[in-house]
Amino acid sequence: MPQFWVDVDTLDDLDAAAAAFRKAHGFRLRIATKYHRLVRDFLKANGVADYQLIDSQGATEGTVKNETAEAIADITSTGETLRANGLKILADGLVHASQATLYKSRVADWSDADRATMAEIEARLKV
Amino acid sequence: MPPTASILEEAARIRSLFLATGAVYVKADVLQPAETLLDLYGEDIRARAYVTHDPLKGEMMLRPDFTVPVVQMHMESRAEPARYTYSGKVFRKQEEDPSRPNEYIQVGYEVFDGKAPVEADAEVFAKVSEALDGLHLRAATGDIGLLLAAVKGLNTIESRKAALLRHVWRPRRFRSLLERFGGRSPVPPTRAALLAASDPMAAAGAEIGLRSMADVAARIAALKEDAAAPAISGEEIALIDAILSLRNTAPNALGILRDIAVDLPAISDAVARMEQRLEAMARLGVAVEALEFEGNYGRTSMEYYDGFVFGFYAAARPDLPAVATGGRYDALTRVLGQGRAVPAVGAVIRPDLVVQLRGQA
């Protein structure tokens, strides 16, 4: 959500802000995302109401500035893009944590060239 | 799966019982405008109802129930008192249990009668009970009106009551709000810092989006009012808990509620209504002495019941959903009637489950 929402830091705040927003603006607070089911299940489990999910398949962090959503639910690694767009992250709003995983085949026919490439990847990943 | 002949026969049998009371047989479109349902139930309904798109009408839903279209129909006709019956398929997504059907027939009965609401409650319960006679089902009853009255009667600021009323149907959030308003859970550090700041907007950053600086300022003012207000007393929270944890036969529950009303007079009217309802049910031949009453019943179902609530369950088949459910939904008529409200109570029966249970009997 926008950084200037100094009154919103937890899901509890988001729920209260959504209720007040709906009353003042006449429609449910819009959250832009492409992860509909994950976000909906998460907000339901945490008892957040009076919001609506808006579909956004790209450049989601721009939707608030463009006034097509009031807040967003998206993936981020460092939060840099979010900050650059004037947004911040809820303290207890982590829906899902994930990491990239690389698997090495134990049955593939590894040539010397493949092994050298693998060594290079390991060196760069510092593993 | 299309309904079998025996399910359709059972639906017709139940419907004829309702028609015998003078109910009007009504129909509703399968496709309903999604906007009405979304505004009513919130985004959660998407997890339960199928959404599709119409090029002219926008988002549409396969009807997840008949109540909303029947109420809309009634609010336009304005006839009163009115009784309606209907039967047809409803459509529900099943996100957890693939063995549960995602389309099944409901037979319903809805009574709009503002003159004798207690008698209408009793009538709907008795009619459903009669339709399910011989199946030896367990009836559960409750009354959301008691909890609503208790919250409205709390000795605290209006904004807290409004927040609690908004979450009556979300027990977890309701509980955490009650804990916080009662001063039992710690204030989040960021909230404490915000309230202590001389100029909370100092490092706020640029105003973007439709939620404005004024909206933020209004919420900070509300938070300050909340922080200055005394905590809801432990005695009052204990009274709410006493209502919620109530589990007894209806006559015993009534006695306990009368005792609670001595300390919480705001529920007196709701308790009196419950007493009149039990008398009306007894007049219609319902065995109220053994009727179960749960203070918490009906809070996790659809978010519109706001008075008497009930359900019929097969005790020997805990895997099956309720065979019938019903309740009072006065507030729903106010929302759909654009300010005009008509007291209403209704119930639905699932003929497929009736047939299934009969087959086992």
Q: What is the pLDDT of residue B188?
A: 87
The set of residues, in sequence order, having a beta carbon less than 8 Å from that of B78 and lying 6+ positions away, is none
Which residue among B204, B220, B222 sits closest to A3, beta carbon to beta carbon? B204
Whether B219 is covered by a domain: the verdict is: yes
- Residue B361: is its pLDDT beyond 60? no
Residues of A in contact with B167 (CB under 8 A): 47, 49
The answer to whether position A57 is within a domain reads: yes
B190 to chain A: closest CA residue: A9
- Percent of chain B whose pLDDT exceeds 90: 76
Q: Are B181 and B160 in contact (CB under 8 A)?
A: yes
Alpha-carbon distance A78 to nearest alpha carbon in chain B (angstroms): 19
pLDDT for res B87: 96
A29 and A71 Cβ atoms separated by less than 8 Å: yes
Distance from CA of B5 to the nearest CA of A (A): 37
Q: Is B100 helix (H, G, I), strand (E, B) or coil?
A: coil
Residues of B in contact with A51 (CB under 8 A): 42-43
What local confidence, expressed as pLDDT, does residue B1 receive? 67
Q: What is the mean pLDDT of residues B51-80?
A: 91
Q: Is residue B190 part of a domain?
A: yes
Whole-number pLDDT of residue A78? 85
Q: What's the whole-number average pLDDT of chain B?
A: 92
pLDDT above 60: residue B156: yes
Is residue A101 situated within a structural domain? no
Query: What's the CATH number where A19 sits?
Result: 3.40.190.10
Contacts of B215 in chain A (CB under 8 A): 17, 20-21, 24
Residue B329 lies in a domain: no
Question: Is pLDDT at B92 greater than 80 in this prediction?
Answer: yes
Higher pLDDT, B6 or B96: B6
Closest CA to B176 of A7, A12, A15: A12
| B2 pLDDT tier (thresholds 50, 70, 90) | confident
| CB-based contact, A20 to chain B, within 8 Å | yes
Give residue B128's Cα distance to chain centre. Answer: 18
Query: Which candidate from B44, B174, B188 shows the least CB-CB separation from A10?
Result: B188
Residue A66 covered by a domain: yes
**Which residues of B are less than 8 Å from A91 in CB distance?**
188, 190
Long-range CB pairs of B222-231 (<8 Å, 24+ gap) are B222/A16, B222/A20, B222/B159, B223/A7, B223/B191, B223/B194, B223/B195, B224/B195, B225/B157, B225/B159, B226/B157, B226/B159, B226/B160, B226/B181, B227/B187, B227/B195, B229/B156, B229/B157, B229/B160, B230/B156, B231/B181, B231/B182, B231/B183
Q: At what angle do helices B144-152 and B268-283 cross, to 10 degrees?
A: 160
Structural domain contains residue A27:
yes
What is the DSSP-derived secondary structure letter of residue A87?
B
Has residue B148 been placed in a domain?
Answer: no
| Average pLDDT rounded to a whole number, residues B54-82 | 90
Q: How large is the average pLDDT for residues A27-45?
A: 95
Q: How far is CA A112 from CA A102, A104, A107, B8, B42, in A?
A: 20, 15, 15, 72, 59
- Least confident stretch, B33-42, B263-272, B322-331: B33-42
SS3 B19: helix
Say yes or no for a CB contact (<8 Å) between B42 and A50. Answer: yes
Tokens 């339901």 sit on residue:
A44
Q: Are B209 and A2 within 8 A, CB to CB?
A: yes
pLDDT at B65 > cutoff 60: yes
Q: Could B215 and A24 be called an inter-chain contact, meaning their C-beta atoms sit closer than 8 Å?
A: yes
pLDDT on residue B80 = 76
Q: Could you tell me whether strands B103-112 and B138-143 are parallel, antiparallel, or unpaired per DSSP bridges?
A: unpaired
- CA separation, residue B234 to residues A98, B11, B53, B181, B230 (Å): 42, 50, 50, 10, 12
Q: Distance between CA B208 and CA B56 in Å, rounded?
A: 32
Best B43, B157, B178 member to test A by mutation, with max A CBs in 10 Å, is B43
- Please check whether residue A107 lies inside any domain of the structure: no
- The reply to whether ipTM tops 0.95 is no
* Element of type H or E holding B47: none
Question: What does the alpha-carbon distance between residue B328 and residue B219 come to, in Å, rounded to a whole number?
Answer: 34
Q: Is residue A125 one of the residues assigned to a domain?
A: no
Could you read off the pLDDT of B308-358 as tens digits, one per residue?
Answer: 999 999 999 998 999 999 999 998 888 888 778 889 999 999 999 999 999
pLDDT value at A23 more than 90: yes
Domain with B217 in it = 186-201+211-230
Q: Which residues contact B93 (CB under 8 A, 6 or more apart)?
A: B47, B48, B49, B50, B102
Reduce the DSSP state of residue A72 to 3 states and report it.
strand
Distance from C-alpha of A39 to C-alpha of A74, rounded to nearest angstrom: 9
**What average pLDDT score do residues B73-82 get?**
84
In the predicted model, what is the mean pLDDT of residues B36-51? 89
Q: What range does the domain containing A64 cover?
A: 11-84
Whether A6 is in a domain gets the answer: no
Domain count, chain A: 1
Categorize the per-residue pLDDT at B256 as very low, low, confident or very high, splitting at 50, 70 and 90. very high
User: Beta-carbon neighbour count of residue B350 at 10 Å?
Assistant: 25
Q: What is the mean pLDDT of residues B238-252?
A: 97
List A residues 32-91 in contact with B (Cβ-Cβ < 8 A). 36-37, 40-41, 43-44, 46-47, 49-53, 64-65, 67, 69-71, 86, 91
What's the pLDDT score for residue B301?
Answer: 67
Per-residue DSSP letter, A2: B
Separation of alpha carbons A79 and A87, rounded Å: 9
Which residues is B142 bridged to in the sheet? B309
The number of distinct structural domains making up chain B is: 1
pLDDT digits (tens, 9 = 90+) for A76-117: 888 888 999 999 999 998 998 988 888 988 898 999 999 999
